[in-house]
Structure 1
Amino acid sequence: MGRIAKEVSGQILCFIGFVGICVCCGIPMWRVTSYIGANIVTGQIVWDGLWMNCVMQSTGQMQCKVQDSIMRLTQDLQAARALTIIAIVISFIGMLLTFVGGQCSSCLKKESSMAKVLILGGILCIVAGVICLIPVCWSSAYTISDFQSVLTIETQKRELGASIYIGWAASGSLLFGGIILCTSCPPSEDMYPNYPGMYPYQGPMYGPPGSYMPAKTYAPSAVYTGAYVPNKPYPPPTYSPVPGQYL
């Protein structure tokens, strides 16, 4: 897979994950309560969300009430409010950085800078996916434990809503998209860069076609005459009549 194809696929997955987190945070379907009373006409579906609760009658009429106080929510939904908003902000910033550092845009000129910005955006998308995964798993675990508890009334037992599944899908899209973007290899740099004070090698100069110009030569500082004359004359050694001794 080419680098451009990896970038485009990662950006698409991150965008899908960003939209999924927004939908997961907005719709009131974190918990769903379905029960039918003694009379089938009184069937109701209760939706519990982060920002409002809705009740749908069997006749199709729906009534929603906004959550006035955050303290009335359970601990998992209280944490989900803050964590989903943080995940939305981080994923939005990461998605913008992926578009800025992509090769399809002309915001940056250097290839190395584009690769670094793209990898940074992928890391932010991975962080956003992890942050979104925490409240979704926490809420699902709380809902399952509350459903299996014998102390919970049958009409108050809740099941996993659509927001939980959307949150899982959004987290997976952000994680896979961020990993794909982080694996985009930056361009290889020169092994021997030109440091200050280093002079590149200049070979022999070539003139017009067919002519050769040798490299510039320098004249010697002293002229050699061809005869060596010592500065101080040395007398020849004299020998004594005794062998092995010098005078």
Structure 2
Amino acid sequence: MATTGLQVLGVLLAVTGWVGQALVTAAPFWRVSAFVGGELVVAEAQWEGLWMSCLVRPGSGHTQCKSFDSGLALPAGTQARRVLALLALLLGVLALGLSVLGMKCTRCLGDGGDVDIGVRETKARLARVGGALFAAAAVVFLVPVCWTAYAVVRDFYDPAVAPPLKRELGPALYLGWGVALLTLVGGALINAGSAPPTGGGVGGGGRGGTSGGVAAAAYGGGKGNPQPTPPEGKKEKAYV
């Protein structure tokens, strides 16, 4: 069915985005050193991430990375961005579990056939919650990415910041925007493919089938049951 295909495609996109979020979180190139000013001579390029910083020598290509010595000594903004990135990853794990349980092609809660409509409703509800959590994870992950980008641009154009301390947008920020969008689209597709099941016609096993049959019977009994014709005498009497 088309809805099952939407669910599968949504889960694949969301999982790909979630893996990208994990890679971006661990990447050290959120901020890179900026070469501004004719008098500025930088022998080593510096990369900074949420967890470590790296020094890159352009001539030799040698890279030396080091984790931050103390998390408590970091600025409050960096600590908050760490927490938000980890929260987005945890939401993605929970969303993946619920989405897999609620997919129509899985049998975790039963076969989900036409006979057991209660199982289908439960699976559809779980899948919709999983899609919503994937979307929430994307939004939460966008907060530290956009926050870092704003801080980098603000400091770059601030004349009070010394040129050696200025930074530029690192490749991880652009990748972060991409994987967040991918996760958001995946969550939307999961929700689109997890519409609540509707009952069939008469005898469909759901509430819609029962109410439809009762309404059809009350309306007139159908074309196959014509009303009996009155006797000839009563018919003539009706015309008098």
Q: TM-score range by the shorter chain?
A: 0.7 to 0.9
For residues 91 and 18 of structure 1, the distance between their equivalents in structure 2, rounded to whole angstroms, comes to 6
What percentage of aligned pairs have identical amino acids?
Answer: 31
1:191 aligns with 2:207: yes
Which residue identity does 1:61 align to in structure 2?
A: H
Q: How well do the aligned residues superpose, as a CA RMSD in angstroms? A: 2.5
2:24 corresponding residue in structure 1: 24
For residues 39 and 176 of structure 1, the distance between their equivalents in structure 2, rounded to whole angstroms, comes to 43
Q: 1:139 to 1:75 in 2, by over 3 A?
A: farther
Cα contact 1:76–1:142 (8 A) shared by 2: no
1:137-178 deviation per Cα after TM superposition (whole angstroms, max 9, x unaligned):
111101100001111222221001122112111211121111
Deviation of residue 123 (structure 1)? 1.0
Matches within 5 A, 1:198-237: none
Q: Paired residues, what number?
A: 195
Deviation of residue 192 (structure 1)? 5.5
Cα contact 2:3–2:192 (8 A) shared by 1: no
1:15 corresponding residue in structure 2: 15
Unpaired segments ≥5 residues, structure 2 = 111-118, 200-205, 211-216, 218-240
Which residue identity does 1:86 align to in structure 2?
A: L
For residues 176 and 4 of structure 1, the distance between their equivalents in structure 2, rounded to whole angstroms, comes to 16
Q: 1:114 to 1:106 in 2, by over 3 A?
A: same
Deviation of residue 70 (structure 1)? 2.3
Unpaired segments ≥5 residues, structure 1 = 195-200, 202-247
Cα contact 2:40–2:163 (8 A) shared by 1: no
Displacement over 6 Å in runs of 4+: 36-40
- SS of alignment partner, residue 65 of structure 1: strand
Q: Which has the higher helix share?
A: 2
Cα contact 1:21–1:167 (8 A) shared by 2: yes
Which residue identity does 2:12 align to in structure 1?
A: I
Which residue identity does 2:77 align to in structure 1?
A: D
TM-score norm. by structure 2 comes to: 0.74
Deviation of residue 64 (structure 1)? 1.4
Cα contact 1:14–1:178 (8 A) shared by 2: yes
Matches within 5 A, 1:135-150: 135-150=144-159
Instruction: Give the stretch that moved more between structures: 165-174 or 87-96.
Output: 165-174
1:74 aligns with 2:83: no
Deviation of residue 10 (structure 1)? 0.6
Deviation of residue 94 (structure 1)? 0.3
Instruction: Give the stretch that moved more between structures: 78-87 or 29-38.
Output: 29-38
1:116 aligns with 2:117: no
Cα contact 1:118–1:182 (8 A) shared by 2: yes
Cα contact 1:34–1:44 (8 A) shared by 2: no
